[in-house]
Amino acid sequence: MSTLQDILVIDDEVTVTQAVVKVCSAEGMTVSAADNATEALQFLETSRFRLALCDIMMSELDGFQFLEELDRRGIQTPVVMMTGYSTVENAVKSLTSTGAVDYISKPFTADELLTVIRRSLRVASLLEESESAGLPRQNAMSYVPCPANYYRLAYVSWALLEDEGTARIGVCDLFLKAVDGIREFELALPGEDLVQGISCATATSLDGSAHGIICPMDGTILEVNEEARSNPALVEKDPYFRGWLYRILPPNPENNLQWLSS
Amino acid sequence: MLGKKIGFKLTFGVVLTALLAISIFAWFNIQSQSSSLLNEVERHARQLSDAVKSDTEYDMLRNDRDRIHESIRRIGQQESIDRVRVFNKSGEVIYSSDPAEIGKMVDKQAESCYRCHSAGKPLDHLEMQARTRVFRPDQESSRLLGIINPIYNSETCWTAACHAHPREQTVLGVLDVTIPLTEIDRNIRRSQLAVMILAVSVILVLSLIVWFMVRWWIDRPVQELLAGMKHVAGGNLAHRVEVKRDDELGTLARSFNNMTENLAQARLQLFQSDKLASLGRLAAGVAHEINNPLTAVLTYSSYLLKRSQGQSEMRNDLNVIVSETIRCREIVKSLLDFARQTVPKKRQADINEIIGRAIAVIENQLSLGRVKLILDLGTDLPRVTVDANQIQQVFINLLVNALDAIGEDSGSIKVTSKAIKVGPTGTLQIKRAQCPKRHDLVDRKVQIDGKPAIGMRYRKGDLSGLIYLNPMYGSNDHHLHEMPAWGEDVELQCPECSRSLIAEGEVCPKCGSPIYAFEVPLKGMVQGCLHEGCGWHRWEQVDSSWNDEFVEVRVQDDGCGIPEAQIPKLFEPFATTKGQKGTGLGLAVTWGIVDNHNGTIAVESKVGVGTSFIIRIPVKS
């Protein structure tokens, strides 16, 4: 428990770990690589890491089992899940499982990787702040004041079921804080179908990095909040009310709720 | 070849019938015609014979033989008369139109005599009918009609001056008139010919018409149907027979077209689901295998691109590598999107019809003969609101699994459908549960019977720990661990915020103990009692509005069965028992679809005995 490193990357594919090591060290981060979960656990016993990147599909322990193992051992290193088989379930589980903070689907560019790493590090530190403010870690998400009746997909997005059977969708404030300064929102058009667990909008931050916003609920877009598009600052200021992104018609919200928390 | 054609057979039958009918008609016609002609001649001969008799009577009485000879000769000269003769009692020709015959004796057996003399003793009286005879004197000559007219003794005869006849004689002699039938025979022959010509022409025309009709109404459409069937048998399911008429053959053609279309659809569907399954397999394989090397390519190239500021030529090349790799990524992604489940499009449907369609899809595999399919489908099942395609996929998955379980052996698959009524207890899974502060109580890490349990913290004095409630509503199979006996002093709390989960001021109506309560978002409060052996529970919103009508479908095989240890993991992705054969997604997809329809799926299995999958779909969603 002596040294503090930035990143631990875990993947049974060596080319992937090598590429991640290269990109991250070029950015000045300290990186270690592990071929499998057991090796990663050894690393985590001896060193501290600010963030871990872990593949989901691995022989022996898979990514989610690795998360459970971390939880069991009380290791609180936040983990970004990686997968080459990106399904809705993998995406949603990666956002909601204990210990996981984010999700990146392979293959990714160096910029995409760095964007996710930076955002996750910010999320982790924000969570840490809230923890040091006295809130239990498991409960950290609710550090963000999310109004009643809102359903959240982790810290990323929210959905509000309306009486008419429609739903409103928006971005959670922790996600906005983690992105830190949004230049513009790239939104989908009315009529398009959104799928839970798939990016439904892209937020470009001031430094030019693109952040996909994972959709909390299936549905067809009925209306896009033009105000949010023209004035990104509005979303940052009032993410839960005036800063909504879409009004959608969800065909089966009940099915989506199991992954959401309120 | 010709004899085998239906058109020929029909024409032949009709012609034969017509021939028979016309022949019978012609025979009767000619018969009646000739008999009426003959009657006419007979009447004429009788009149003639009577005329001769009365004409010569006076001369007879006077016994003026010369005058009688003269009269008879003259009468006999008429063209319509062959000859006129008078015999005496002993058969001697006394008078004749043919003078050469006079004086000749006639044998009693001669055609003109035997009628009266055949019986031994000569008859005194002869019926009119019997007096006539038709005969042919020799082979060459034409037919003749002879009529005999007996000359009876009368008072004038024995009182006449000549006294030629004694008084006791009854019959004095016989007048025999013969008339040639040449004319009549010619008439008969002519009408026979006419009838024959009529018959032949009618038969000819009839057979022509029948042949034409058969050809037009039967032969041609049948030939077209046959040609169509050959096409379809040859595999061309797009071929359609032209439907030109409304008769039975038109209906047949239409049904044939329908059948071909259904066949084509079933084949397309099979092809489609086969294609989708292989695509899903391929996409999963490609995604997993290709995305890793692509990650290296994309990361390194984009990393190099970032570092190659100022080297424009190199940047251009690297840009190509990066953008093309991203293109590869999009291709893989679209493959995965395609293989992904779509949102269900629910409509009213008949579950038996969906089962039928699923069976049609896998029929080829069944028709190998080693697997017997037994259907026991309920009649009058209520219609269910489902996505027919997805539910069909469920049945296809289950049937294919059953087939795989049977393997190379022979066996049977039984599909049963029926309407059932079940209460919410033990049927409904509580998927979400909240404390008063809206913390999620469902703990996905702890499962009871494979379903995420509802976690709570108990507290009694210094004692504290977690308990897990069975998420199946009404089930009392909770994991209470070391919790002390249920009572007023036991406190239940939200594990996160420690808010109490005991319903304040309310007690169990059954045993009077305190009750717990938690909220299911949008679905009201669930209450229950944890007192040992009580098991009281209430979920007002569900209890009051629960629709207990379900359609249950059971797919049962007598295959290898599933080991007990594998059953809890059965519906998880990649839990295949088929090794290389399956994607491991089939039952996961099946579960997902049934769950999307608010239905339940259960499995009963015994190794070596067989497996049953039981699906229940609510009638009203």
Q: Which residue has the higher pLDDT, B302 or B196?
A: B302
Among B6-15, B125-134, B175-184, the minimum mean pLDDT is found in: B125-134
Question: In the prediction, which pLDDT does B368 show?
Answer: 63
Looking at the partner chain, which of B288, B300, B302 has a beta carbon nearest the beta carbon of A84? Answer: B288
Question: In the prediction, which pLDDT does B337 show?
Answer: 65
Q: Is the dihedral of CA B23, B24, B28, B31 positive or negative?
A: positive
Rounded Cα distance, B181 and B192, in Å: 16
Considering the domain architecture, whether residues B578 and B537 belong to the same structural domain is answered as no
pLDDT more than 70, % of chain B: 88
Chain A residues 83-122 within an 8 A CB cutoff of chain B: 84-89, 98, 105-111, 113
> Is B201 part of a structural domain of the chain?
no
Q: Which domain holds residue B409?
A: 347-422+548-618
Rounded Cα distance, B379 and B401, in Å: 26
Rounded Cα distance, B338 and B278, in Å: 12
> Is B391 part of a structural domain of the chain?
yes
**Which CATH number covers residue B119?**
3.30.450.20
> Is B434 part of a structural domain of the chain?
no
* Residue B237 reports pLDDT greater than 60: yes
Select the residue from B286, B288, B291, B518 to test the A interface by mutation, using most A Cβ atoms within 10 A: B291
Mean pLDDT within B450-476: 86
Q: What is the DSSP letter of A20?
A: H
Cβ B454 vs Cβ B471: under 8 Å: yes
- Strand ranges for B297-430 from DSSP E: 347-349, 371-377, 384-386, 411-421
Cβ A257 vs Cβ B596: under 8 Å: no
* Residue B143 reports pLDDT greater than 80: yes
Chain A residues in contact with B303 (beta carbon < 8 A): 19, 22-23, 26, 110
Question: In the prediction, which pLDDT does B302 show?
Answer: 92
Question: In the prediction, which pLDDT does A81 show?
Answer: 93
Rounded Cα distance, B592 and B341, in Å: 9
**How far A228 CA lies from chain B's nearest CA (Å)?**
28
Determine, for residues A218 and B299 on separate chains, whether the beta-carbon distance falls below 8 Å.
no
What's the pTM? Answer: 0.47
Chain A residues in contact with B585 (beta carbon < 8 A): none
B506-533 pLDDT tens trace = 888 888 888 898 988 777 888 888 888 8
Question: In the prediction, which pLDDT does A257 show?
Answer: 84
Considering the domain architecture, whether residues B53 and B138 belong to the same structural domain is answered as yes
> Is B493 part of a structural domain of the chain?
yes
Considering the domain architecture, whether residues B272 and B297 belong to the same structural domain is answered as yes
> Kind and range of the H or E element at A63?
helix A63-73
Q: Which residue has the higher pLDDT, B30 or A132?
A: B30
Start-to-end Cα distance in chain B: 63
Looking at the partner chain, which of A26, A57, A88 has a beta carbon nearest the beta carbon of B303? Answer: A26
Identity of residue A235: V
Phi, psi of A156 (to 5 degrees): -90, -60
Among B112-126, B201-215, B469-483, B484-498, the minimum mean pLDDT is found in: B112-126
> Kind and range of the H or E element at B36?
helix B6-62
Question: In the prediction, which pLDDT does B78 show?
Answer: 83
Cα dist from B49 to A56, B85, B123, whole Å: 134, 10, 19
**Which CATH number covers residue B286?**
1.10.287.130
Considering the domain architecture, whether residues B307 and B280 belong to the same structural domain is answered as yes
Looking at the partner chain, which of B296, B343, B445 has a beta carbon nearest the beta carbon of A16? Answer: B296
Q: What is the DSSP letter of B83?
A: E
> Is B108 part of a structural domain of the chain?
yes
Question: In the prediction, which pLDDT does A139 show?
Answer: 45
* Residue B580 reports pLDDT greater than 50: no
Question: In the prediction, which pLDDT does A142 show?
Answer: 46
Considering the domain architecture, whether residues B569 and B512 belong to the same structural domain is answered as no
A107 prior amide bond cis, ω within 30: yes
Closest CA to A25 of A14, A13, A17: A17
Helix, strand, coil distribution of chain B in percent, nearest 5: 45, 20, 30
Rounded Cα distance, A164 and A196, in Å: 20
> Is B227 part of a structural domain of the chain?
no
Select the residue from B282, B286, B290, B292 to test the A interface by mutation, using most A Cβ atoms within 10 A: B292
Nearest chain B residue (CA) to A198: B337
A34-86 pLDDT tens trace = 999 999 999 998 899 999 999 988 888 889 999 999 999 988 899 999 988 77
Q: Which residue has the higher pLDDT, B142 or A205?
A: A205
Q: What is the DSSP letter of B480?
A: -
> Is B238 part of a structural domain of the chain?
no
pLDDT more than 70, % of chain A: 94
Rounded Cα distance, B379 and B243, in Å: 34
Average pLDDT, chain A: 86
Mean pLDDT within B49-60: 84
Mean pLDDT within B412-417: 93
Rounded Cα distance, B430 and B451, in Å: 9
* Residue A185 reports pLDDT greater than 80: yes
Number of domains making up chain B: 4
Considering the domain architecture, whether residues B469 and B581 belong to the same structural domain is answered as no
Question: In the prediction, which pLDDT does B7 show?
Answer: 76
Rounded Cα distance, B553 and B414, in Å: 10
DSSP string, A186-239: EE--TTPEE-TTSEEEEEEETTS-EEEEEPSS-EEEEEE-HHHHH-HHHHHH-T
DSSP string, B388-404: HHHHHHHHHHHHHHHHH
The interaxial angle of helices B220-233 and B248-307, nearest 10 deg, is: 30
Considering the domain architecture, whether residues B461 and B563 belong to the same structural domain is answered as no
Select the residue from B288, B289, B299 to test the A interface by mutation, using most A Cβ atoms within 10 A: B299
Q: Which of B163, B187, B211 is the last residue of a domain?
A: B187
Burial pattern B89-120, b for ≥16 Cβ within 10 A else e, equals eebebebbbeeeeeeeebeeeebbbebbeeee
The count of CB pairs under 8 A between chains A and B is: 107
Tell me the pLDDT band of B573, cut-offs 50, 70 and 90. Answer: low
Closest CA to B463 of B440, B438, B480: B480
Tell me the pLDDT band of B301, cut-offs 50, 70 and 90. Answer: very high
**Structure-token pair, residue B224:** 């077209």
Question: In the prediction, which pLDDT does B345 show?
Answer: 64
Average pLDDT, chain B: 81
Considering the domain architecture, whether residues B112 and B172 belong to the same structural domain is answered as yes
Beta strands across the sheet bearing A4-10: A31-34, A4-10, A48-55, A79-83, A100-105
Among A231-245, B122-136, B321-335, B402-416, the minimum mean pLDDT is found in: B122-136
Q: Which of B339, B361, B378 is the last residue of a domain?
A: B339
Looking at the partner chain, which of B291, B333, B596 has a beta carbon nearest the beta carbon of A252? Answer: B596
Chain A residues in contact with B435 (beta carbon < 8 A): none
Count of C-beta atoms within a 10 Å radius of residue B124: 10
Question: In the prediction, which pLDDT does B38 show?
Answer: 85
Considering the domain architecture, whether residues B119 and B253 belong to the same structural domain is answered as no
Tell me the pLDDT band of A115, cut-offs 50, 70 and 90. Answer: very high
* Residue A201 reports pLDDT greater than 90: yes
> Is B208 part of a structural domain of the chain?
no
Count of C-beta atoms within a 10 Å radius of residue A91: 25
Considering the domain architecture, whether residues B24 and B88 belong to the same structural domain is answered as yes
**Which CATH number covers residue B389?**
3.30.565.10
Nearest chain B residue (CA) to A218: B343
The widest CA-to-CA distance across chain B, in whole angstroms, is: 177
Characterize the bridge pairing of strands B442-448 and B384-386.
unpaired
Question: In the prediction, which pLDDT does A18 show?
Answer: 92
A14 touches chain B (CB under 8 A): no
Structural domains of chain A, ranges and CATH numbers in brackets: 4-132 (3.40.50.2300), 144-257 (2.40.50.100)
Question: In the prediction, which pLDDT does B10 show?
Answer: 81
Considering the domain architecture, whether residues B22 and B108 belong to the same structural domain is answered as yes
Using DSSP's 3-state secondary structure scheme, residue B257 falls into helix
Characterize the bridge pairing of strands A100-105 and A48-55.
unpaired
Cβ A177 vs Cβ A211: under 8 Å: no
Cβ A251 vs Cβ A242: under 8 Å: no
Phi, psi of B450 (to 5 degrees): 80, 5
pLDDT more than 90, % of chain A: 39
Scan for tokens 């919410």, then name that residue.
Answer: B424
* B417 bridge partner residues: B377, B553
* Residue B166 reports pLDDT greater than 60: yes
Start-to-end Cα distance in chain A: 36
B343-353 pLDDT tens trace = 556 778 899 99
Question: In the prediction, which pLDDT does B523 show?
Answer: 77
* B617 bridge partner residues: B551
A161 touches chain B (CB under 8 A): yes
* Residue B244 reports pLDDT greater than 50: yes
Q: Which of B135, B168, B187 is the last residue of a domain?
A: B187
Q: Which residue has the higher pLDDT, A208 or B451?
A: A208
Identity of residue A79: V
Mean pLDDT within B396-410: 84
Determine, for residues A84 and B434 on separate chains, whether the beta-carbon distance falls below 8 Å.
no
A122-180 pLDDT tens trace = 988 888 887 777 655 544 454 456 677 888 888 889 999 888 788 999 998 888 888 88
Q: Which residue has the higher pLDDT, B524 or A11?
A: A11
Considering the domain architecture, whether residues B268 and B385 belong to the same structural domain is answered as no
